[in-house]
Amino acid sequence: MAMEGLRPIAEIQFADFIYPSFNQIVGEAAKIRYRSNGEYTCPLVIRTPYGGGVRGALSHSVSIEALFYHVPGLKIVAPSFPDDVKGLLNAAIDDPDPVLFLEHKKTYRLIKGEVPDGHYTIPLGKANVRKAGTQLTVVSYGLYLHWALEAAQRLQEENVSVEVIDLRSIRPMDKTAILTSVQKTRKLLIVHEDNKFGGIGAEISAMVAEEALFSLDSPIRRLCGPDVPSMGYALPLEEEFMSSPAEMADAMRAMVKF
Amino acid sequence: MATTDLRTGSLERHGLSDEQLRDMFRNMLLQRQLDNRGFQLNRQGKVPFALGSEGHEALQAGAAMAFNRGRDILAPYYRDLGLCLGIGLSPFEILLSIFARAEDHNGGRQFPNHYSSKAAGLMSFSSILAAHLPHAVGAAFAIAYRGETGRAVLATCGDGTTSEGEWHESMNFAAVHKLPFVMLVENNEWAISTPLAKQMAQPEIWKRAAGYGMPGRRFNGFDPIETYAAVKEAMDRARAGEGPTLVEGTCYRYLAHSTDDNDLTYRTREVVQERRKDDPVPAFEAVLLEHGIVTPEGVAAMRKDVLRETNEATDAAEALPYPEPTDLYKHVYEGAWEPWQS
């Protein structure tokens, strides 16, 4: 449809069910412009609810971003706030290339916020400093962004100043926002629900190590999901997988003290 | 081979003029010459890879005649040289693909035979078979969604592709939405090295149409006129908004899968030689001669002209440059691109 002039918006509910379409997304949509030397394009938006914390068991809980963010030709957006969802979804629909639009399913009912009237767009690839701070930079997205903000707020009451960056876009990613913040705070903690090994945090860590190693006062840390296939249905298995705001606050305190 | 009316002795030509019949035959000769050229260039060490369509000439020349240029959309696979020539690609464009030159539609990025031309209505496709079929039914959906009439999508695949999940998904989607879509299966009995008997328990692919709730039909793909009639009927039906059709043409793959395949590891030379007796190129030539549509001199001139055109296209394409190394970075997305945004 997209190759013949339509602007389809597909929904794959849930992200765990996206695997059968992996070839269509990675092998086809991401390569159509490239393989035809720009003659054909694929302006496609794929919305998909991802993430856990909703008793979704093995097949309604996963984070899929790391499987796709390696792929040139795709763009990936993961907004956390309602106003960003509208602006980024409009931008994704306008975008001339395929966009994977990740919506954390626990935020659907958990997060409320004002959404401006009328049409507006938010450019892909621009992060947003959701809380300013001076002693530590925390980079996150999705549900964990909200929990990281909650933890940072808790630390504020302890007179610890943490800056929280909402990535919003995973591919492309906002290098300037991350480096500007890290050069100020000199410490970086990356928090994401997806498992740690080969995750988004690895790329951010490598970029900061390449570009700003000598600005750092402590090792980069990543607080991420464990290396298991998914979270279990039983409550203890889900809770063990997820990081809580309290765990995030502990990690932040430890880094600030370092 | 092409049916002759036993009472009148005349050719059953399904409305095709002498000129159209000669065009189809010339397309068949050109296919064989260009196929041969790809293999020659590979054996000369000039190109790393070639892939042929020998045995599919009649099927593709006939099917292409049922395609309306400037209106219909073709979603082919990589063994569709004749179809792509028949809808308007030139031998020069074919040679650009073989030589992977910068001027090639794909900018020298794809393998040969992976043709693409938006101007010709030829959808870009990858090497992954069946992956093009969701695109094809999507294009048909776009036609229907916009309320356009008189247009249809002609998608093709080999017999092997019909065992893929996306083949089923596409057929079902086309039928459910009654799309202007024709699924043309070119059954050459081989899925690379897997014979038909190892691909499916029920070897008549066209019969699956009933399962999807669409008409199905099988025809002799060695006969370009019969092919034309079957595909034309299906395309007309699609263009009129009456829904999709499955058409299966039987043919045979005379060559190995590609220059990187030795088919003698899975079939004997004798079997192929036996099937060569049905070769559609000399067979159609005999029909045209018998009915006075061509003369022996005319055929000789046509063969000479096809060779001349192939040689000229070869020289012209070979003389052109490769893409620049920096072209590697173009067209990943619209505009300049860097995953890290500053």
B331 pLDDT more than 90: yes
Residue of B nearest to A30 (CA): B332
pLDDT in tens, B216-230: 999 999 999 999 999
Residue B201 forms part of a structural domain: yes
B5 pLDDT more than 80: no
* Domain ranges, residue B266: 18-329
Residue B342 confidence (pLDDT) = 83
By DSSP bridging, strand B216-220 and strand B194-195 are unpaired
Of A73, A176, A207, which is closest to B333 when you measure between CB atoms?
A73
Among A139, A152, A126, which Cα is nearest to A205's? A139
Residue of A nearest to B165 (CA): A20
- Calculate mean pLDDT across residues A162-167: 98
- Calculate mean pLDDT across residues A88-112: 97
DSSP summary character for residue B303 = H
**Positions of CATH 3.40.50.970 in chain A:** 2-110
Q: What is the pTM of this model?
A: 0.95
Encode burial over B7-24: b for 16+ CB neighbours within 10 A, e otherwise. eeeebebbebeeeebbbb
The answer to whether A230 and A45 are in contact (CB under 8 A) is no
Residue B291 forms part of a structural domain: yes
Residue B204 forms part of a structural domain: yes
**Number of independent structural domains in chain B:** 1
pLDDT in tens, B246-271: 999 999 999 999 999 999 999 999 99
A28 pLDDT more than 80: yes
Q: Does the annotation count A60 as an active-site position?
A: yes
pLDDT in tens, A196-208: 999 999 999 999 9
Beta-carbon separation of B116 and A35 below 8 A: yes
- Calculate mean pLDDT across residues B58-83: 98
Of the candidate ranges A173-187, B7-21, B234-248, B276-290, the one whose mean pLDDT is the lowest: B7-21
Shortest alpha-carbon distance between residue B171 and chain A (Å): 16
Q: Is B323 left (phi over 0), alpha (psi -120 to 50) or beta?
A: beta
Question: What's the CA gap between A80 and A61, in Å, rounded?
Answer: 17
Position B7 confidence tier, pLDDT thresholds 50, 70, 90: low
Tell me the CATH number for domain A128-257.
3.40.50.920
Residue B140 confidence (pLDDT) = 98
DSSP summary character for residue B172 = H
Residue B7 forms part of a structural domain: no
Q: Which of residues 37-96 of B touch A (CB under 8 A)?
A: 73
Of B116, B141, B165, which is closest to A1 when you measure between CB atoms?
B141
pLDDT in tens, A222-258: 999 999 999 999 999 999 999 999 999 999 999 999 9
Residue A205 confidence (pLDDT) = 98
Contacts B124 to A, Cβ<8 Å? 3, 32, 35-36, 39-40
Beta-carbon separation of B341 and A176 below 8 A: yes
Residue B335 forms part of a structural domain: no
* Residue that the structure tokens 């910068």 belong to: B102
Amino acid type, A121 = T
Residue B210 burial (C-beta neighbours within 10 Å; 0-12, 13-18, 19+): exposed
Contacts A210 to B, Cβ<8 Å? none
Tell me the CATH number for domain A2-110.
3.40.50.970
Beta-carbon separation of B330 and A38 below 8 A: yes
Beta-carbon separation of A3 and B123 below 8 A: yes
Residue B8 confidence (pLDDT) = 67
Beta-carbon separation of B124 and A39 below 8 A: yes
Assess B334–A contact: CB distance below 8 Å, yes or no.
yes
Residue of B nearest to A4 (CA): B139
A136 pLDDT more than 70: yes
Assess B116–A contact: CB distance below 8 Å, yes or no.
yes
How many Cα neighbours within 13 Å face the side chain of A190? 23
Question: What's the CA gap between A227 and A149, in Å, rounded?
Answer: 25
Question: What's the CA gap between A142 and A153, in Å, rounded?
Answer: 17
In this prediction, does ipTM exceed 0.85? yes
B2 pLDDT more than 90: no
Mean confidence (pLDDT) of chain B: 96
Beta-carbon separation of B331 and A38 below 8 A: yes
Of all residues in chain A, the percent with pLDDT exceeding 70 is 100
pLDDT in tens, B108-150: 999 999 999 999 999 999 999 999 999 999 999 999 999 999 9
Count interface pairs A-B at CB distance under 8 A: 105
B84 pLDDT more than 60: yes
Residue B278 confidence (pLDDT) = 95
Contacts A3 to B, Cβ<8 Å? 123-124, 135, 138-139
- Calculate mean pLDDT across residues A1-7: 95
Q: What are the structure tokens assigned to B102, written together?
A: 């910068």
Shortest alpha-carbon distance between residue A136 and chain B (Å): 21
Beta-carbon separation of B117 and A39 below 8 A: yes
* Residue that the structure tokens 């190109």 belong to: B47
Question: What's the CA gap between B306 and A99, in Å, rounded?
Answer: 46
Whichever domain contains B51, its CATH number is: 3.40.50.970
Position B6 confidence tier, pLDDT thresholds 50, 70, 90: low
Beta-carbon separation of A173 and B141 below 8 A: no
Position B1 confidence tier, pLDDT thresholds 50, 70, 90: low
Position B10 confidence tier, pLDDT thresholds 50, 70, 90: confident
Contacts A172 to B, Cβ<8 Å? 337-341
Of B107, B131, B139, which is closest to A24 when you measure between CB atoms?
B131
